[in-house]
Amino acid sequence: MGVALKLVAQRLALGLLLMLLVSILIFAGTIILPGDVAQSILGQSATPEALANLREELGLNEPAVSRYFSWLGGVLQGDLGTALTSGQDIASSIGSRLSNTLFLAMWAAVISVPLAIFLGLLAVRYRDRWPDKLISGVTLASISIPEFLIGYLLMYYIGVKLRWAPTVSMIYDSMSLGQKLQAIALPVAVLTLVVLAHMMRMTRAAILNVMQSAYIETAELKGLTMFKVIWRHAFPNSISPIVNVVMLNLAYLVVGVVVVEVVFTYPGMGQYLVDHVSKRDLPVVQACGLIFAAVYIGLNMVADIVAILANPRLRHPK
């Protein structure tokens, strides 16, 4: 077990180092954008006086390095600063937005992950026969259509024509859970269609890979049913690549929802980020970037740690 723990600790340290590097990149990246915040806030109606007043107020005249360190110090204490444009506290604005994004991602994951794994198992069970071909064909088609198009198609047929679900997925605090679920039905459907294929194909490939092994042959010769062989013997040994792809897609569900959120006007992180990028609200963009990076790095770290722990040779070192 000691070897495994050492590897896990190393992996954690690497994750933290990555986060630090990402924070530097994010800070540098936002500085080299053209234009400045004051100009973007005031838009076309900026008078020179108003511009000068605003720049002074926002502390845009400080050198970049000192701005970075004061920012990092704040972040480590959970203070993300205030949004330049609206003057609201970022941590509290992001709080509700992040929880909305996670809410959407969670429901998409709850539906898509089991479904993808089940379909993957099914495809292996009926390998090269019509269920396998059908599952692969449909999921590949859905991953090939751009998200916004799937979104618009569902919006038109399910929202406008059938009126089964609202076309604008706004959720707010006073809604009941049932109302919220109805509101997010369409974006969840789009996200599910988008991530399903990747996870399903990976599950199928990983299990098929294991199916060549000697112990599977033994299991078959013992006379176990095909499904039992797959479920009891093949699946547990292919967990690590499956977890990997699941994590990657979970990260996508949190970080990659920008398009879906904008199309369905869903009040999540994606829209919040887009709004503030266009107005060059640096503190907000940095905070969003940092959170997205943390989600990605964190989930990848979890996948690697699971892979380390799931590796029998590391768990039972000779």
**HEC readout, 275-294:** HHHHCCCHHHHHHHHHHHHH
- Of 155 and 197, nearer to another protein (C-beta) is 155
- Of 87 and 223, nearer to another protein (C-beta) is 87
Using CA atoms, how far apart are residues 292 and 269, in angstroms rounded to an integer? 9
- Of 21 and 28, nearer to another protein (C-beta) is 28
Please, what is the minimum distance in Å from the beta carbon of residue 97 to another protein?
8
∠ CA(106), CA(78), CA(250), 5° rounding? 20
Using CA atoms, how far apart are residues 312 and 73, in angstroms rounded to an integer? 42
Structure-token pair, residue 37: 């915040």
300: helix, coil or strand? helix
- Of 259 and 310, nearer to another protein (C-beta) is 259
Question: Contact positions toward another protein, by CB under 8 A?
Answer: 33-36, 39-45, 47-50, 53-54, 83, 85-88, 93, 96-97, 152, 155-156, 159-160, 163, 166-168, 170, 172, 174, 262-265, 267, 271-272, 275-281, 284
- Of 97 and 233, nearer to another protein (C-beta) is 97
35: helix, coil or strand? coil
Please, what is the minimum distance in Å from the beta carbon of residue 189 to another protein?
15
H or E element: which one contains 93? helix 90-125
Please, what is the minimum distance in Å from the beta carbon of residue 62 to another protein?
20
Please, what is the minimum distance in Å from the beta carbon of residue 70 to another protein?
22
Using CA atoms, how far apart are residues 198 and 116, in angstroms rounded to an integer? 8
61: helix, coil or strand? coil
Please, what is the minimum distance in Å from the beta carbon of residue 107 to another protein?
19
Q: Report phi then psi at 84, rounded to 5.
A: -65, -35
Please, what is the minimum distance in Å from the beta carbon of residue 4 to another protein?
44
- Of 48 and 223, nearer to another protein (C-beta) is 48
